[in-house]
Amino acid sequence: MKHYRVAFAASVCALFAACSNVGNIDSSALIKSGQLATQAATLSETDVRALSDKSCAQLDSENQIAAANSKYQKRLNTIAAQLGDNINGTPVNYKVYVTKDINAWAMANGCVRVYSGLMDMMNDSEVRGVVGHEMGHVALGHTKKAMQVAYATSAMRSVASSAGGVAGALSGSQLGDFSEKLINAQFSQAQESAADDYSFDLQKKKHLDPSGLVTAFNKLAQVDGGKSSMLSSHPSSPARAQHIQQRIASNQ
């Protein structure tokens, strides 16, 4: 984490150095933005939870949530019962967004959202594999790093006082922008592979069949010629499917 903060600080300094060549910049606004950007690199667990709560609430308000007695929520409840009710001790809240979009994501506060478009194209085993993968990003700390980046890019445009805490420093429009950045975060190949393995290991631990991961990746690769919204942040599906298939074959 120390190296990450140094790199982050260096990138912020480089950005501000470039901006210093542009005329008519309000220096006080730049200083405040820099303070918020530095704050983003050191978000506490409380900050992460507060931002996750606000982002999840924002996205819930913008999407149609499946009714408790709908076929989608009932299916997700079955999957949730298999995967468990917490991520590293944080209670999980599972809901379905009714939309043709194909996506799923999880946040550090236990907010797990699955799109009905994804559920329409996948069976329960495949959805379980995908949801386990998204939970893996949270459990392994990937979403926190993604949040730092998303917050920094939002905060650098803000001159608001941080007196209300990092979540309070974001305006309504910035919160919407931040939430979109967060759920569309680009994870590294190493992070994606680690989340795949997390899903595989979680399912094996609970005596579930993890082969749905393989067929889920294959289905996603076929959506719009491999241009689905999920694949924009989940690259190399065929290779990842092969990796899971190898783990199944070796029973490891």
Active-site amino acid positions: 134
CA distance 125 to 216: 9
Size of the chain in residues? 252
- CA neighbours closer than 13 Å in the CB half-sphere of residue 248: 19
List the end-to-end C-alpha distance of the chain, in Å, as a whole number: 30
As given in the structure block, the two tokens for residue 182 are 């967060």
What lies within 8 Å, CB to CB, of 38 at 6+ separation is: 9, 12
Q: Provide the residue type at 203 as one letter.
A: Q
- Specify the pairing of strand 90-91 against strand 111-115: unpaired
Would you state the torsion angle of the CA atoms of residues 187, 244, 141, 137, taken in this order, to the nearest 10 degrees? 70
CA distance 190 to 92: 25
As given in the structure block, the two tokens for residue 160 are 């608001």
Angle at 154 between CA 131 and CA 170, to 5 degrees: 95
What is the enclosing helix (H) or strand (E) of 162?
Answer: none
Contact 210, 129 (CB under 8 A): yes
Q: Is 200 exposed, middle or buried (0-12, 13-18, 19+ CB in 10 A)?
A: buried
